[in-house]
A and B are shown apart, each in its own frame.
Chain A
Amino acid sequence: GAVVSQHPSRVICKSGTSVKIECRSLDFQATTMFWYRQFPKQSLMLMATSNEGSKATYEQGVEKDKFLINHASLTLSTLTVTSAHPEDSSFYICSYSSGRDYLQETQYFGPGTRLLVL
C-alpha cells in the first residue's frame, strides 16, 4: 500500500500563532488528498478535499480562511492553521486517494499530527 508521511508529528504553539502541517506521499503521485480532524474519542471528520493545482473544497462548517490548504504538487500538501486557538487543538490527519476511478479507490492515511494550542 501507499506510504504517507506527516510532519511534524506533534506541535505545541501559543494562541494566535500559525502552524503549518505537511503531508507527503512517498511512493506515488496523488491528484486528490483529504484533510481530517479527529477530536479525542471521536471519529475522523473530513475538513476538506483538495486537488493538485486547484482550490480546496471545504466541508460545511470548516473555515477556509482559518485552515489554508495548499496542494502545489502531486506529492506534497500542506495545511496551515492560521491564528490558532485552544479549540483548534486536535489530531490532524491527511490521506491520499489511490486511484482515478472513485468507485474503486482506497484512501491511505498519514500518521497524523497532534496540535496543542496553549
Chain B
Amino acid sequence: AQSVSQHNHHVILSEAASLELGCNYSYGGTVNLFWYVQYPGQHLQLLLKYFSGDPLVKGIKGFEAEFIKSKFSFNLRKPSVQWSDTAEYFCAVNPGSSASKIIFGSGTRLSIRP
C-alpha cells in the first residue's frame, strides 16, 4: 500500500547534537515532498519542500533535507540542534497522481535536552 513512513517515533538529543530524521515513501512516479513542524501548542508550519531540481533542499531554521530517489527517501537533517527545536516533525508526500492531496507520515517527536 502507498504510505509515508517515519521510523523514529521519539528522538531525544542534547543541545548541539546533530539530527537526522528518516522518511521513506512508497509512491512511484513524480512526487512532491515536504517536512512540516508542529511546535508545542502551535499549528503546523512548513519547514521545507522539494518539487524538483537540486535534491538537497535548504529550509528555515538551519534545517535541510535530501531527496534520494533511488531510496525513496527524504531525510531531514540539522547539524546542531537547539532546545527551541523541540517539536513534532511530519514528513509528507504529495503523490503526482492526486492533485493537491498530501499524505502525512506518523510524525517524530523531537525532545532536546538543554
A interface residue numbers (CB < 8 A to B): 1, 4, 32, 34, 42-46, 49, 93, 95, 97, 102-112
Interface size class of B (residues with CB under 8 A): 20 to 34
Given contacts A34-B102, A108-B46, 6 further A-B contacts (CB under 8 A): A4-B43, A42-B106, A43-B104, A44-B90, A45-B104, A103-B51
Closest to B30 in A: A103
List which B82-114 residues lie within 8 A (CB) of chain A: 90, 94, 96, 99-107
Contact A43–B51 (Cβ < 8 Å) = no
Query: What's the dominant secondary structure at chain B's contact region?
Result: loop
A21 to chain B, nearest CB (A): 14
Given contacts A109-B44, A111-B42, contact A102 B104 (CB under 8 A): no
Given contacts A106-B49, A109-B44, contact A43 B106 (CB under 8 A): yes
In the complex, B32 has a CB within 8 A of chain A: yes
Q: In the complex, which of the residues A45, A93, A103 contacts B44, with contact meaning CB atoms closer than 8 Å?
A: A93
